[in-house]
Amino acid sequence: MIESDRHPFLEGLSKHRGAPPTIIVIFGASGDLTTRKLVPAIYNLSYDNLLPANFTLIGFGRNPISDEEFANIANDSVKNYSRRDLNTNVWEKIHSNIQYHSGGYDDFNAFKTLAEKIDKIQSKNGQDSQILFYLSTPPSVFEPILRNLGESGLSSRNLHTRLASKVIIEKPFGRDLKSAQDLNNIMGSKFEESQVFRIDHYLGKETVQDLLVQRFANNIFEPIWNRQYVESVQITVAEELGVGSRGGYYDKSGALRDMIQNHTMQLLSLIAMEPPVSLHPESIRDEKVKVLRAIQPLNLDGDHSDVVRAHYSEGLIGGKKVDGYLQEKNIPNDSITETFAALRLSINNWRWKGVPFYMRSGKRMARRVSEIAVQFKKPPGILFTEGNRFDVASNTMVVRIQPDEGITMLLNSKIPGLETRTQPVKMHFGYATTFGSNTPEAYERLILDAMIGDSTLFIRGDETEASWKIITPILDYWSDCGRQGLESYVSGSWGPLASDRLLWDKSHEWRRSGP
């Protein structure tokens, strides 16, 4: 590591230096995720000396290309997408350990020859390696890949290696409860739960990991983190981007499946969970799943519906005109897929009963911002609100997940002067100012954790099922309604008016701007 690159994050990763020899096989080697995220993450881990001495990357894909051609593609992906420029010495270290294996996902022979390749690498190294299978493919091929891993013996310990293999999968983990259960069952027939690493890349974000530290390493929050003091909680994951080139995938998914079922539900579990008994992965995941199980079934129809869906029409983003969803590439012009969803949730437990949790996520919104805002109840208005001249603002803690990562507290303060007048002010902590920028990307942390077998930041099978239990009735209801109830919002806005109405019952409002 170069001295100027020292960062508190990397110092904290020193425990990871013990990853055993590893062969990582990426299925979907020519896919977008591999190019944009996985290869650059592996490069940066190597740059920071965090890869084990014996490390091999095998790209598995359908294109018949050579090892060298794949290495060239990997080289381009580092040049184009790595957070650091390509350093020749670092590249040379991994270059010789990049291989490619061409074959179909349902072709048993391709897996047999993959097993032979893996055996060869191990005998050359004179050491067993753990094998990490990274399923960076469309979910439709998860099943044949898992079946072939089982039948070729690659998923069993002691046949090719004495170390336990691991499988990393990317969302979506199913399309609804039933398919999520089926996927868990197939997975469970080939791998133990401890070998399965389900990625939700939001858990790899530093600000998301900090939620537990903020809540449980500071004694000032816990006494007020409940229905006595909290008025409401808002979770927003807004993007400026539209569906871009992913129309084919997105139109079959929609905002509820793509963002709410996973990323925003994870944020909700972390912000609402009880203190875990330890930092053991299972203690944390046990508490997260309890929150999901305590969410009450939602009202789906009528004036008091808890859900809103919409898709974007044309509008302006950053001053530039952009198309509506129905004009995007690969989107049928009668599509009823939602690009925005908002939910009002109630957590039926001792801590949160009666506190509304609002969540929304959408594409082509006013700006890119992911944040959690915990709004506290107002003080009794007996002192500073005399004659209704001043209305003290609610104290709010805003955790900005991205961009401009930080935490802001909104407080009321006296405006200097002879009169006693109040004004909301901000107390702010910014990660970049305190800890420096250029923080490693989520995928670096997640690949490293999977290598050492730490599953804290990965989703357990029962968590995905608990989340689908909440989401599936909404999907079924929307599918029954067809187009009815589907709203529209102008690109570059904060979503449809109907999403504001979700909050009116309690005279709440969505936050419109940054802290």
Binding site for ligand BG6 (CB under 6 A): 201, 239, 258, 370
Least separation, in Å, of the C-beta of 258 and ligand BG6?
5
Contact at 8 Å (CB) between 270 and 264? Answer: no
Least separation, in Å, of the C-beta of 304 and ligand BG6?
30
Q: What gap in Å lies between CA 440 and CA 45, rounded to an integer?
A: 9
Contact at 8 Å (CB) between 486 and 504? Answer: no
Q: What gap in Å lies between CA 408 and CA 447, rounded to an integer?
A: 31
Task: Given the residues 16, 101, 201, 263, select the one marked as catalytic.
Answer: 263
Smaller CB distance to ligand BG6: residue 258 or 449?
258
* Cα-Cα-Cα-Cα dihedral sign, residues 497, 503, 508, 514: negative
Least separation, in Å, of the C-beta of 512 and ligand BG6?
19
Least separation, in Å, of the C-beta of 313 and ligand BG6?
19
Query: What residue type is assigned to position 302 of the chain?
Result: G
Encoding tokens for residue 73?
A: 């593609």
With residues binned 3-state (H G I as helix, E B as strand, rest as coil), the percentages for the chain, rounded to 5, are 40, 20, 35
Smaller CB distance to ligand BG6: residue 253 or 346?
253
Smaller CB distance to ligand BG6: residue 48 or 200?
200
Least separation, in Å, of the C-beta of 372 and ligand BG6?
14
Smaller CB distance to ligand BG6: residue 176 or 500?
176
Least separation, in Å, of the C-beta of 199 and ligand BG6?
9
Smaller CB distance to ligand BG6: residue 201 or 460?
201
Task: Give 415: exposed, middle or buried? Use CB within 10 Å, 0-12, 13-18, 19+.
Answer: exposed
**Angle at Cα 431 formed by Cα 427 and Cα 436, nearest 5°?**
135
Contact at 8 Å (CB) between 357 and 346? Answer: yes
Encoding tokens for residue 114?
A: 């993959």
Q: Which residues contact 341 (CB under 8 A, 6 or more apart)?
A: 254, 255, 256, 259, 260, 307, 308, 309, 310, 360, 361, 362
Q: How far is CA 121 from CA 67, 315, 439, in A?
A: 14, 54, 33
Name the pairing type of β-strands 196-199 and 369-376: unpaired
- Which residue in this structure is represented by tokens 């200097």? 416
Q: Which residues contact 92 (CB under 8 A, 6 or more apart)?
A: none
Query: What residue type is assigned to position 208 of the chain?
Result: V
Nearest residue to ligand BG6, scored by beta-carbon proximity: 258
Least separation, in Å, of the C-beta of 235 and ligand BG6?
13
Q: Which residues contact 205 (CB under 8 A, 6 or more apart)?
A: 401, 402, 442
Smaller CB distance to ligand BG6: residue 258 or 444?
258
Contact at 8 Å (CB) between 359 and 235? Answer: yes
Any catalytic annotation for residue 280?
no
Least separation, in Å, of the C-beta of 398 and ligand BG6?
17
Q: How far is CA 338 from CA 325, 475, 481, 510, in A?
A: 9, 11, 13, 20
3-state secondary structure of 124: helix
Q: What gap in Å lies between CA 342 and CA 356, rounded to an integer?
A: 13
Smaller CB distance to ligand BG6: residue 258 or 463?
258
8-state DSSP, 237: E
Least separation, in Å, of the C-beta of 80 and ligand BG6?
17
Smaller CB distance to ligand BG6: residue 23 or 199?
199
Could you please report the per-residue DSSP string of 182-193? HHHHHHHHHS-G
Smaller CB distance to ligand BG6: residue 103 or 254?
254
**Active site residues per annotation:** 263
